[in-house]
Amino acid sequence: MTTSREIRLISRPTGMPAPENFELATVDVPEPGAGEVLVRNLWMTVDPYMRGRMNDVKSYVPPFRLGEAMEGGAVGRVEASNDPAFQQGDLVLSMKGWREAFVAPGGQLEKLDTQGLPPQAFLGVAGMPGLTAYVGLLRIAALKEGDVVFVSGAAGAVGSVVCQIAKAKGHKVVGSAGGAEKVAFLKEIGVDHAVDYKAEPNLAKAVLAGAPDGIDVYFDNVGGEHLEAALTAARFKARFAICGMISQYNATEPPAGPRNLALMIGKNIRMEGFIVSFNADMKADFVRDLSQWVSEGKVTWRETVKEGIEQAPDAFLGLFSGENLGKMLVKLA
Amino acid sequence: MTTSREIRLISRPTGMPAPENFELATVDVPEPGAGEVLVRNLWMTVDPYMRGRMNDVKSYVPPFRLGEAMEGGAVGRVEASNDPAFQQGDLVLSMKGWREAFVAPGGQLEKLDTQGLPPQAFLGVAGMPGLTAYVGLLRIAALKEGDVVFVSGAAGAVGSVVCQIAKAKGHKVVGSAGGAEKVAFLKEIGVDHAVDYKAEPNLAKAVLAGAPDGIDVYFDNVGGEHLEAALTAARFKARFAICGMISQYNATEPPAGPRNLALMIGKNIRMEGFIVSFNADMKADFVRDLSQWVSEGKVTWRETVKEGIEQAPDAFLGLFSGENLGKMLVKLA
């Protein structure tokens, strides 16, 4: 009998989640039945969007259920298979994260051809966060020649790919992140003007210092003051891809929106929110382009790794204090 | 010698403008020189966008200059012409409002073929406000079959045309306006669900009462709480045409933005600000469609009229207290 440890949500957080909202439990994993596969997870991801699933509200994904293991992206290895599509030893992607091992129908798994990349890259640069960057920049913001691009959360899993895609396509990029280490990383990946937002009293001014004529594209991972600064710095017909607003996910009072939203009118700004899963048709193009950029050295990535399922809640909480440089991951085996 | 009275801006308002910001002056109007035309204005328009021009900031139109007559749309009659394109008696549109008479080069005038409409309609339903409604609804919000449309400032010059275009195209329309008289007007023009925002403690709830499955298009003339309610009521992939935010034009402190802007992400909402003058290519289609809708009785309009140039500042100030039903106009002759 295989056993697995898993992380359950046992109470819904108000504001910033705390360790007490989670429980580590050990469960028995049954033998795989007909058409089923037994998988041992190697890596799991924690992502900001998971905070929304901890609230009991209707959204584009259902809320996590109390007392049950949470869900999220994971890469694992097949230990036993009753589905002819999977062999022992295969690497698989699933949404069965937050646990060490599981049994699931083969239909819930995606066989992973790593194409020379480390498997955990498919939870980051080559996975959902990378695709999010690609969709947001190329489809939602409709990046076009000559655009000056501003990215918030620029050292994160999504933001760092946005910066590098824009650079690979020859754009001027202004990136914002918190702290000297992240700013150094932004410079390493070729960002033209890196803003340490924690050290800047006037964010709009700091952005405009790197883009004196203003910005054409804003990729928003942060919301709040960053969105306000982007509106101030925006040029005529600027396009904003609204990907995330991590500054607001733990707000207990409704956060005040940008105070200068009326600038949208005179500047003819377009802002568009998006969810990557409704843009899965771009995945094949993404994989092709990303592989090429990685092989040319134009896209690289960083990981912040915690070890062991018991570290998963901490890893998740660390997203909100900006603990991660690049992708925050949990190594499970 | 012709004389003309004109309204000058003599100080820049802070917050709500006051009568003291304006001055009524009498000037001599010269004889028209070569290529010039002498025009006596019949009607002038006051519009919310003019508030922005009273501030000394860079925007899509230059600020009004202190001590000079303001500008704005006007319909006048040619009294004398040295430009062969214009004859005495011709009706002309110009941006030489806020004055009774003027001399200008013929190139600054547009000859008006009223096609049976009263001339002042070209300052409202058949003019810039009507075109704004048309552009915002059809191009910016990309109205498509089956959309449920929500309009704020729905009894105003722009909003009332938005409502009627949407109805002419077979859509369900929720309109918001302040007070019983305006709500009665909305019902007259066929709005399916009229919200008196002054009487509603919960605006989002009031909108959803008329559109239980949510809204697909929001035409924003108001900003603030209306925008917030629209975000709450929005359906997946809703499109917001951000035309104006009259609730904020006189704010002395930066107004708080919508507190629920993060809803844009999960709902994949697109918000786009626009200025009608960058969409002048739609004018011919607008004139064709509007003429047909008017002749079929599908589009009608109301006017709130003040008489005499000395009433122009009051007419303008009345826009911010919602004094106007339909187009606010000043009759000059």
According to CATH, the superfamily of the domain at B128-278 is NAD(P)-binding Rossmann-like Domain (3.40.50.720)
- Is B269 in contact with A265 (Cβ distance < 8 A)? no
- Is A254 in contact with B259 (Cβ distance < 8 A)? yes
- Is B244 in contact with A255 (Cβ distance < 8 A)? no
Distance from the Cα of A314 to chain B's closest Cα (Å) equals 25
Distance in angstroms (rounded) separating the CA atoms of residues B285 and B175: 25
Q: What is the mean pLDDT of residues A123-146?
A: 97
- Is A264 in contact with B242 (Cβ distance < 8 A)? yes
pLDDT at A248: 86
A216 to A134, A312, B119, B295: CA distances (angstroms):
17, 38, 41, 43
**Where do the CATH 3.90.180.10 domains begin and end in chain A?**
2-124+301-331
Which residues in chain B have Cβ-Cβ distances shorter than 8 Å to A264? 242, 271-273
The position carrying tokens 């918190």 is: A178
pLDDT at B255: 81
- Is B257 in contact with A254 (Cβ distance < 8 A)? no
pLDDT at B254: 75
pLDDT-based confidence at A247, cuts 50/70/90?
confident
pLDDT in tens, B69-101: 999 999 999 999 999 999 999 999 999 999 999
- Is A265 in contact with B245 (Cβ distance < 8 A)? yes
> What percent of chain A is modeled with pLDDT above 70?
100
In total, the C-beta contacts within 8 angstroms joining chain A to chain B are: 102
Answer whether B311's CB lies under 8 Å from B329's CB. no
- Is B256 in contact with A254 (Cβ distance < 8 A)? no
Q: Which of B263, B269, B271 is opposite residue A264, by nearest beta carbon?
A: B271
Nearest CA in chain B to A228: B257
**Where do the CATH 3.40.50.720 domains begin and end in chain A?**
128-278
pLDDT at B171: 98
Q: Choose from A60, A227, A268, A278 for mutation: most chain B CBs within 10 A.
A: A268
pLDDT in tens, chain B (333 residues): 799 999 999 999 999 999 999 999 999 999 999 999 999 999 999 999 999 999 998 877 889 999 999 999 999 999 999 999 999 999 999 999 999 999 999 999 999 999 889 999 999 999 999 999 999 999 999 999 999 999 999 999 999 999 999 999 999 999 999 999 999 999 999 999 999 999 999 999 999 999 999 999 999 999 999 999 999 999 999 999 999 998 888 888 878 789 999 999 999 999 999 999 999 999 999 999 999 999 999 999 999 999 999 999 999 999 999 999 999 999 999
- The residues facing B272 across adjacent strands are A270, B241
- Is B270 in contact with A271 (Cβ distance < 8 A)? yes
Nearest CA in chain A to B265: A273
- Is B265 in contact with A274 (Cβ distance < 8 A)? yes
A104, A274, A229, B62 alpha-carbon torsion, rounded to 10° = 180
Q: Which of A268, A274, A275 is opposite residue B273, by nearest beta carbon?
A: A268
A204 to A153, A221, A257, B39, B236: CA distances (angstroms):
15, 16, 16, 47, 31
Residue A233, token pair as written in the block: 């710095």
Domain covering B2-124+301-331 in this structure, CATH number: 3.90.180.10
B147 to B163, B219, B268: CA distances (angstroms):
13, 12, 16
Distance in angstroms (rounded) separating the CA atoms of residues A280 and A282: 5
Q: What is the mean pLDDT of chain A?
A: 96
pLDDT in tens, A37-46: 999 999 999 9
Give one DSSP letter per residue of B179-218, joined into a string.
SHHHHHHHHHTT-SEEEEGGG-S-HHHHHHHH-TT-EEEE
Which residues in chain A have Cβ-Cβ distances shorter than 8 Å to B228? 257
Rounded to a whole number of angstroms, the distance between the first and last alpha carbons of chain A is 18
Give one DSSP letter per residue of B267-307, joined into a string.
TT-EEEE--GGGGGGGHHHHHHHHHHHHHTTS----EEEEE
Question: What is the interface pTM, i.e. ipTM, of the complex?
Answer: 0.92
pLDDT at B38: 98
Distance from the Cα of A131 to chain B's closest Cα (Å) equals 16
Q: Choose from B59, B250, B264 for mutation: most chain A CBs within 10 A.
A: B264
pLDDT at A1: 78
pLDDT in tens, A255-268: 878 999 999 999 99
Distance in angstroms (rounded) separating the CA atoms of residues A311 and A299: 29
Answer whether B6's CB lies under 8 Å from B69's CB. yes
pLDDT at A234: 98
pLDDT in tens, A60-105: 788 999 999 999 999 999 999 999 999 999 999 999 999 999 999 9
Distance from the Cα of A302 to chain B's closest Cα (Å) equals 26
Which residues in chain A have Cβ-Cβ distances shorter than 8 Å to B270? 270-273
A328 to A157, B20, B121: CA distances (angstroms):
8, 60, 61
Output the pTM of the full model: 0.93
pLDDT at B103: 98
- Is B278 in contact with A268 (Cβ distance < 8 A)? yes
Determine the distance from the C-alpha atom of residue A144 to the mean position of all C-alpha atoms in its chain, rounded to a whole number. Answer: 24
- Is A273 in contact with B275 (Cβ distance < 8 A)? no
- Is B257 in contact with A258 (Cβ distance < 8 A)? yes
Answer whether A151's CB lies under 8 Å from A163's CB. yes
Q: Choose from B268, B269, B275 for mutation: most chain A CBs within 10 A.
A: B268
Nearest CA in chain A to B277: A266
Distance from the Cα of A49 to chain B's closest Cα (Å) equals 10
Distance in angstroms (rounded) separating the CA atoms of residues A320 and A248: 10
pLDDT at B5: 98
pLDDT at B252: 81
3-class SS of residue B50: helix
Residue B11, token pair as written in the block: 């100080």
pLDDT exceeds cutoff 90 at A58 = no
Q: Which of A256, A265, A273 is opposite residue B244, by nearest beta carbon?
A: A265
